[in-house]
């Protein structure tokens, strides 16, 4: 949802808009006393009405609390919405509360028919702190607000006759002048804040592209359809792209990938998107790899009807890679970034691969297929091996790989597996900064025996116990010694019900995380 989001330097009381959302911390109102500066200004202009209503409704600024009222012309905004954002010692958590509140404000603006929304928030005390990576906290907060607004505006209603229309066209993030002036170089500070708002909106739009791809039925997002979207993204953002079909995939000896795809009438597609910086001396590339099963029926090891209901979402990893790649030119890291996916369907048919089949992948590893529903690791095995040949400094894959990760971590947390503690630390830090929960899982060498086959190098299942770990251990056989991190996003990539700024259905999980990781890595290496 493309909202026009801008930073505006104006006083909340005198800024004209349909809805003014005032984000306040916990304790903003205690026993009728208002301590928040913005809220206080407004309360005075409204003749003490805000304070009165806050006391009546027991509003104190706790996260999730809200109150709203009409201003009857007493301030320039038609309505005021006060949103509690709670109290957070941790700046990453505080920023996520801003994201959530901004999305909440948009969700209030929608039924109210507001065309313009203004957001004010208690600019963090850390606002003047210059961070090690060159960005400052005030900019990060503006970015989070812009992200939250556009993420909250999303709805997938293209197939509905009755659409919940969004009149909202403009979001103004109100920054105060004194704050920026004090930091010296006012113009520069203003440009920084505007850039942060633009980046936040772009990241949210990319996230919504991933959501759309996940929400579209498998009849539309076919392997060819997914490759076509990657082509569109490449054209629009100036990335290079390579799209290969069955003959070329065969030439590459990707028999694990071909095995999975052979049961379907849809041809597989192997895609590589590339960003290469303009500068002459470029660092080693970074590789992003996404699982791209456009429909997972389980194949001959057929899933139950219920188990299949959501399996159009089994390409969420590739959706995140495509969306994140679309942001790379904007982030402009000093190293190349490649995005890879092998797209196909996993279907049963007379030509389908069978339990018991032995396939030899691109890197020479042979696999006994015991369960055709453990297909993601097969395709990823070949694509990871291919990506590793580009000699990346780091590989990160995103995959809706196992139902077991939902059992382990629940619906909102991605599993992180890595052979490299430094890379794992980077991914954890980026995830935290982006507000995307991840939890590191182990890769115990002693569990290798569970995926050993009596007749081949590996088998593609390791039993029910530690299912996500087995799957990750399997993938590890295809990355060589390269620093690699695997994100099992089967939980957070698609939700049964809305949670904060994440809607029901596709969430775009991984997009903000990867954008943040690339940003931090770029800042380190500049």
Residue 345 touching Zn ion (CB under 5 A): no
Q: CA angle, 145 as apex, 289 and 210 as ends, to 5°?
A: 25
Cα angle for residues 437, 442, 446 (degrees, 5° grid):
165
- Where helices occur in 309-463 by DSSP H, the ranges are 316-331, 376-388, 404-409, 421-434
Stretch that binds Mn ion, among 114-122, 150-158, 226-234, 295-303 (CB under 5 A): 295-303
Q: Given candidates 36, 216, 314, 357, which one binds ligand BES under the rule CB under 6 A?
A: 314
Q: Mask 370-399, x = binds Mn ion (CB under 5 A)?
A: ---x-x------------------------
The C-alpha atoms of residue 425 and residue 12 are separated, in whole angstroms, by 40
Could you count the other beta carbons within 10 Å of the beta carbon of residue 372?
A: 27
Site string for ligand BES, 211-230 (x = CB under 6 A): --------------------
Among 296, 357, 488, 516, which residue sits at the site for Zn ion (rule: CB under 5 A)?
A: 296
CA 476 – CA 486 distance, rounded (Å): 9
Q: Which of 374, 473, 475, 485 binds ligand BES (CB under 6 A)?
A: 374
Calpha distance 122→133 (Å, rounded): 23
Does residue 357 bind Mn ion (CB under 5 A)? no
φ/ψ (deg, to 5) at 119: -120, 130
Per the document, the length of the chain is 526
Min dist CB 284 to Mn ion, Å, is 33
Q: Residue 21 or 399: which CB sits closer to Zn ion? A: 399
Stretch that binds ligand BES, among 10-18, 163-171, 194-202, 395-403 (CB under 6 A): 395-403
Phi, psi (5° rounding) for residue 472?
-70, -40
Tell the smallest beta-carbon distance from residue 250 to ligand BES (Å): 23
Only segment of 141-149, 274-282, 312-320, 360-368 that touches Zn ion (CB under 5 A): 312-320
Q: Nearest CA to 183 among 253, 130, 117?
A: 130
377 in catalytic set: yes
- Asked if residues 386 and 301 have their Cβ atoms less than 8 Å apart, the reply is no
Q: What sign does the dihedral 10-12-14-15 (CA atoms) show?
A: positive
With binding defined as CB under 5 A, does residue 216 bind Mn ion? no
**Residue 264 C-beta: closest distance to ligand BES, Å:** 15
- Confirm if 260 and 299 have CB atoms less than 8 A apart: yes
Q: Which residue among the candidates 104, 362, 377, 459 is catalytic per the annotation?
A: 377
Q: Which residues of this protein are in contact with Zn ion, per CB under 5 A?
A: 293, 296, 314, 376
Binding site for Mn ion (CB under 5 A): 296, 373, 375
Which residues sit at the interface with ligand BES, rule CB under 6 A?
296, 314, 371, 373-376, 400, 402-404, 461, 467, 490
């Amino acid at each position: 949802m493309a909202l026009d989001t801008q930073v505006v330097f104006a006083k909340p009381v005198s800024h004209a808009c349909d809805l003014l959302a005032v984000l306040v911390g916990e304790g903003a109102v205690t026993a009728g006393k208002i301590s928040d500066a913005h809220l206080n200004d407004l309360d005075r202009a409204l003749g003490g009405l805000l304070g009165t209503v806050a006391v009546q409704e027991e509003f104190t600024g706790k996260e999730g609390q809200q109150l709203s009222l009409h201003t009857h012309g007493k301030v320039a905004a038609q309505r005021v919405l006060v949103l509690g954002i709670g109290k957070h010692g941790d700046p990453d958590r505080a920023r996520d509360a801003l994201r959530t509140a901004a999305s909440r404000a948009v969700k209030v603006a929608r039924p109210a028919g507001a065309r313009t929304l203004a957001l004010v928030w208690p600019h963090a005390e850390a606002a003047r702190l210059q961070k090690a990576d060159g960005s400052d906290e005030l900019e990060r907060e503006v970015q989070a607000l812009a992200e939250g607004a556009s993420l909250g505006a999303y709805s997938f209603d293209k197939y509905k006759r009755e659409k919940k229309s969004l009149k909202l066209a403009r979001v103004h993030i109100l920054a105060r002048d004194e704050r920026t002036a004090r930091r010296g170089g006012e113009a520069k500070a203003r440009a920084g804040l505007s850039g942060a708002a633009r980046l936040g909106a772009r990241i949210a739009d990319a996230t919504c592209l991933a959501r759309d791809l996940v929400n579209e039925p498998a009849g539309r997002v076919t392997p060819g359809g997914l490759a076509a979207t990657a082509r569109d993204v490449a054209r629009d953002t100036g990335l290079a792209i390579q799209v290969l079909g069955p003959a070329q995939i065969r030439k590459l000896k990707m028999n694990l990938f071909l095995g999975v795809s052979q049961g379907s009438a849809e041809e597989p597609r192997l895609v590589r998107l590339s960003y290469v910086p303009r500068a002459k001396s470029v660092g080693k590339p970074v590789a992003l790899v996404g699982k791209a099963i456009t429909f997972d029926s389980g194949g001959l090891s057929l899933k139950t009807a219920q188990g299949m209901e959501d399996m159009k979402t089994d390409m969420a990893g590739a959706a995140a890679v495509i969306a994140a790649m679309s942001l790379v030119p904007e982030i402009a890291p000093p190293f190349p970034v490649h995005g890879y996916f092998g797209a196909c369907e996993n279907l049963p048919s007379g030509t389908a691969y069978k339990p018991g089949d032995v396939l030899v992948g691109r890197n020479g590893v042979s696999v006994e297929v015991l369960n055709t529903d453990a297909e993601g690791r097969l395709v990823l095995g070949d694509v990871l091996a291919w990506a590793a040949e580009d000699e990346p400094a780091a590989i990160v894959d995103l995959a809706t790989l196992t139902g077991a990760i939902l059992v382990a971590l629940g619906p909102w947390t991605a599993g992180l597996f890595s052979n490299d503690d430094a890379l794992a630390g980077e991914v954890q830090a980026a995830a935290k900064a982006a507000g995307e929960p991840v939890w590191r899982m182990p890769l115990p060498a002693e569990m290798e025996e569970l995926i050993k086959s009596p007749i081949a190098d590996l088998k593609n299942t390791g039993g029910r116990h530690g299912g996500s770990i087995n799957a990750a251990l399997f993938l590890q056989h295809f990355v060589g010694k390269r620093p690699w991190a695997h994100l099992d996003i089967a939980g957070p990539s698609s939700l049964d019900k809305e949670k904060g700024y994440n809607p029901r259905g596709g969430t775009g999980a991984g997009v903000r995380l990867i954008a943040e990781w690339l940003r931090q890595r770029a800042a380190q290496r500049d």
